[in-house]
Amino acid sequence: MKIYFFGTKTDKKKLNDNYDVIIKTLRNAGVDLFTNLKERALPSDLLELRESGGLVLNEMDSFIIDGTENSPDIGYLMALAIAEKKPAIYLYEKGAPAQEIIKQLLTKKLPASLQLKNYTPQYLEKIILDFLRTFKGQAVKEVPRIKFTLRITPSIEKYLHYKIHNTTKSKADFLREYIERIMKLDKDYEDFIRREE
């Protein structure tokens, strides 16, 4: 999945820290990230497209736009996302001065493909992951952050050693992947998650 993240270039540390959280979250989720904030070489297919006069932005699957600070590019990106019916989220930091584009968007019925979210830094990662989960059929890699102690029997340890022998996986990675497979097959859990949303 190709995602384009746009943020206004700024010297404000707080805003740059927010951008870093967004970029890190997207990279950890395993998406193919393109952004105006950091230089990155285009893959050969997109490089050929650009050299032939095509628009690279048209090849993006989704857009994440931080509009905390004004930029003339924001309107263009949003119009492109809406016209192409591509999923997009317009973010702005809570408490930021209301901008004209936000006022306009709030007075109109937004297309289903466009989300408008204000955020605080502590919830930014969750907002990005929730947005990524809206893509049907797209897996979002979550970064393990919760430490959990599990005591196992010697026979379980022997089995885990057998399963990871001659692989690059750790026992923890093997168990995580196994539990994730079980989660995907658990219809009751899926219903529970839907009710929570």
Domain residue ranges of the chain, discontinuous segments joined by +:
2-133, 154-196
CATH class of the 2-133 domain in this structure: alpha beta
Q: Where are the alpha helices (DSSP H) in 33-153?
A: 44-51, 72-83, 100-106, 124-133
pLDDT digits (tens, 9 = 90+) for 96-112: 776 666 666 666 677 88
pLDDT tens figures, 26-74: 888 888 888 888 765 555 655 554 555 556 678 888 999 998 888 888 8
Q: How far, in Å, CA of 91 to CA of 108, rounded? A: 17
pLDDT of residue 52: 57
pLDDT digits (tens, 9 = 90+) for 152-181: 999 999 999 999 998 888 898 899 889 988
What values do phi and psi take at 93, rounded to 5?
-70, 135
What pLDDT, on the 0 to 100 scale, is given for residue 107?
65
Whether 12 and 71 have beta carbons less than 8 Å apart is answered as: no
Q: In the prediction, which pLDDT does 1 show?
A: 80
Tell me the C-alpha distance between 153 and 124, whole Å.
40
What Å distances lie between residue 187 and 14, 137, 190, CA to CA?
41, 16, 5
Contact 93, 117 (CB under 8 A): no
The pLDDT of residue 181 is 86
Supply the pTM of this predicted model: 0.65
Alpha helices in 52-123 (DSSP H): 72-83, 100-106
Instruction: Give phi and psi for 142, each to the nearest 5.
Output: -100, 145
